[in-house]
């Protein structure tokens, strides 16, 4: 089996490496020559636990290779994945220009029957557009080859992408021919151990499934954040409420952790895109509009708490920010809540000392020299008026609080992810603020 994966970002590289890991011959293609050149020299463009190991192993055993030249690598392929970005356009809808460009390139260069699969997150109806691009490109060169278009949305999470891909909860495939179904069944067979299902459906339903899944998860997060904020007002503890509701199997314990809002490259853009699709069809998605609004407010919650504690006088105060990436386990800074917080602090005239174990390099592209780049969490806390826990990396979970107390200016902690034991911290002389726990 030979697969081409076009777009070698988070999804494309993980997909390519994991398919190669189980025996498929894979070529990952990208327009970014520097990225491809680096990969050929063993340098990965992203931080993702476990990825370097399988990329290196499969590159060395010859099952995984990298190219910028689709025309050269497409002959002999059984399946081609489109895994390029679908960023939000100005009106919130998914920008399909990269997907459609790739479809055109496939139509221009394919030499034999191919299953063309959209792995990027795309709105319902995109497969029809992809089909149109391929057909037009073939007509333009006077070719008439057989092919199928399919949809296979990806559900991996950053920070756990390799495990998610190798051991998926399910694989969703939208197909409209038996031939495409057979190719996808064969490709994914190695991932279906222990009863993991592959779910076939029509293409429109597969495209919608991806948005509905992300929208549901985002809804859970905004719901618990809204409840957390109410807990503070009524004197309840959201941690207890979370356990109390999560133990009901119908609700479940996952994705109901309150915090400072969801970030990342997907929830924000996919919620926006689905709202936009609703509008296009005259069907306002009121729940999702509220999910987005709650999330935008939640990204500012820590700043409001800080401002209140210091009576609005933040000018020349120093804050230690622990964690920058939108979640632990990744260097991805897209839509990270840290950026909203830091911008507000800087605007209020505060000084910010930041530390992230992995994302500093990425974060520097946005934050530049507006903040001080600390070498570790203690260096960040040096002389700080307060410590702000933003991303719950493991190494922030059990700091040496005795040492912290000696080096900070005032022992105040704002815990944006509810990972600290407030009672312990308060016993040890800290003032501690969390999300959803009344002071
Ligand atoms: P990314 O930005 O990390 O990578 C996209 C890659 O595509 C880039 O390397 C870019 O150079 C390349 N590219 C653009 N145009 C190209 C072309 N014409 N030919 C070849 N390569 C081209 O994006 P990502 O985070 O991997 O997301 C890709 C898609 O997958 C999006 O639709 C996203 O919503 C979806 N998705 C992402 C995740 C995630 O965790 N990041 C998870 C599930 C689904
Ligand atoms: C999310 C989905 O979980 C994946 O299934 C999906 O494939 C992906 O989007 C995508 O389409 O790109 P990801 O954004 O990588 O994955 O990471 P998540 O673990 O979902 O976290 C997203 C954000 O939600 C983070 O900022 C995280 O801190 C926040 N979050 C998550 C909470 O605030 N509370 C929770 O209980 C869970």
- DSSP assignment of 229-262: HHHHHHT-BHHHHHHHHHTSTTT-STT----S--
Give the count of beta carbons closer than 10 Å to the beta carbon of residue 399: 18
In whole angstroms, what is the distance from residue 386 CA to residue 321 CA? 9
- The pLDDT of residue 439 is 75
In whole angstroms, what is the distance from residue 243 CA to residue 264 CA? 25
* The token pair that represents 201 in the structure block: 């459906």
- The CB of 160 under 6 Å from ligand 1? The reply is no
Per-residue pLDDT tens, the chain, 439 aa: give them.
999 999 999 999 999 999 999 999 999 999 999 999 999 999 999 999 999 999 999 999 999 999 999 999 999 999 999 999 999 999 999 999 999 999 999 999 999 999 999 999 999 999 999 999 999 999 999 998 999 999 999 999 999 999 999 999 999 999 999 999 999 999 999 999 899 999 999 999 999 999 999 999 999 999 999 999 999 999 999 999 999 999 999 999 999 999 999 999 999 999 999 999 999 999 999 999 999 999 999 999 999 999 999 999 999 999 999 999 999 999 999 999 999 999 999 999 999 999 999 999 999 999 999 999 999 999 999 999 999 999 999 999 999 999 999 999 999 999 999 999 999 999 999 999 999 998 7
Backbone angles phi, psi at 33, to 5 degrees: -65, -35
In whole angstroms, what is the distance from residue 373 CA to residue 368 CA? 9
Strands 386-389 and 412-415: parallel
- The pLDDT of residue 438 is 84
Give which of 95, 75, 73 is closest to 8, Cα–Cα. 73
What is the chain's length?
439
Q: Which ligand is nearest to the Cα of residue 253, counting in written order?
A: 2
10 Å CB burial of residue 411 (0-12, 13-18, 19+) is buried
Ligand 1 atom with least separation from CA of 119: 30
- What's the complex ipTM? 0.98
Residues 6+ apart with CB under 8 A from 69: 29
Strands (E), 122-224: 147-151, 171-174, 198-201
In whole angstroms, what is the distance from residue 116 CA to residue 145 CA? 13
How far from each other are the two terminal CA atoms of the chain, in whole angstroms? 60
- The pLDDT of residue 388 is 98
Distance 420 CA to ligand 2 centre (A): 21
Question: Annotated binding site for substrate: which residue ranges?
Answer: 155-158, 210, 255-259, 263, 327
Ligand 1, from 84, 97, 335: best to mutate by most atoms within 8 Å of Cβ?
A: 84
Q: Is-contact 199 169, C-beta < 8 A?
A: no
Q: Kindly list the distances between the CA atom of residue 149 and the CA atoms of 94, 188, 341, 390, in Å, as whole numbers in the listed order.
A: 19, 17, 43, 42
Strands (E), 175-245: 198-201
Does this model's pTM top 0.90?
yes
* The token pair that represents 47 in the structure block: 């931080």
What are the structural domains of the chain?
A: 2-201 (3.40.50.720), 211-297 (3.40.50.720), 299-433 (3.40.50.720)
Ligand 2: list residues with CB < 6 Å: 121, 154-158, 214, 217, 221, 255-257, 259, 262-264, 266-267, 326-327
């Amino acid at each position: 089996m030979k697969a081409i994966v076009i777009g070698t970002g988070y999804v494309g590289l993980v997909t390519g490496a994991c398919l190669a890991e189980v025996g498929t011959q894979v070529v990952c293609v990208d327009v970014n020559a520097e990225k491809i050149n680096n990969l050929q020299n063993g340098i990965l463009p992203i931080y993702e636990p476990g990825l370097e190991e399988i990329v290196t192993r499969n590159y060395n055993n010859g099952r995984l290779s990298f190219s910028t030249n689709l025309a050269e690598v497409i002959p002999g392929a059984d399946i081609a994945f489109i895994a390029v970005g679908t960023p939000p356009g100005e009106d919130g809808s998914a920008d399909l220009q990269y997907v459609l460009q790739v479809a055109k390139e496939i139509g221009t260069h394919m030499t034999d029957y191919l299953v063309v699969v959209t792995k990027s997150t795309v709105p319902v109806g995109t497969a029809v557009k992809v089909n149109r691009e391929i057909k037009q490109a073939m007509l333009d060169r006077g070719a008439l080859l057989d092919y199928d278009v399919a949809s296979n949305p990806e559900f991996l999470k950053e920070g756990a992408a390799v495990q998610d891909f190798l051991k998926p909860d399910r694989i969703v495939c939208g197909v409209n021919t038996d031939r495409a179904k057979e190719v996808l069944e064969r490709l994914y067979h190695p991932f279906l151990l222990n009863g993991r299902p592959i779910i076939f459906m029509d293409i429109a339903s597969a495209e919608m499934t991806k948005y509905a899944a992300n929208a549901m998860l985002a809804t859970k997060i905004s719901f618990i954040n809204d409840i957390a904020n109410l807990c503070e007002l009524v004197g309840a503890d959201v941690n207890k409420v979370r356990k109390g509701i999560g133990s009901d199997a119908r609700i479940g314990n996952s994705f109901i952790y309150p915090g400072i809002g969801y970030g990342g490259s997907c929830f924000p853009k996919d919620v926006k895109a689905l709202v936009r699709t609703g509008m296009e069809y005259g069907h306002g998605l009121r729940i999702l509009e509220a999910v987005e609004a709650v999330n935008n407010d939640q990204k500012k919650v820590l700043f409001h708490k800080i401002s209140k504690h210091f009576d609005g006088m933040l000018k020349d105060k120093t804050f230690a920010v622990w964690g920058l990436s939108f979640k632990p386990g990744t260097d991805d800074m897209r839509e990270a809540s840290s950026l909203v917080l830091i911008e507000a602090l800087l605007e209020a005239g505060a000084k910010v000392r930041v530390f992230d174990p992995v994302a500093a390099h990425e974060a520097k592209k946005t934050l530049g020299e507006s903040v001080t780049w600390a070498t570790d969490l203690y260096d960040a806390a040096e002389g700080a008026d307060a410590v702000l826990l933003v991303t719950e990396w493991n190494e922030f979970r059990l700091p040496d609080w005795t040492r912290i107390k000696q080096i900070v200016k005032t022992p105040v902690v704002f815990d944006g992810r509810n990972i600290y034991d407030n009672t312990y911290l308060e016993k040890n002389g800290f003032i501690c603020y969390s999300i959803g726990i009344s002071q």
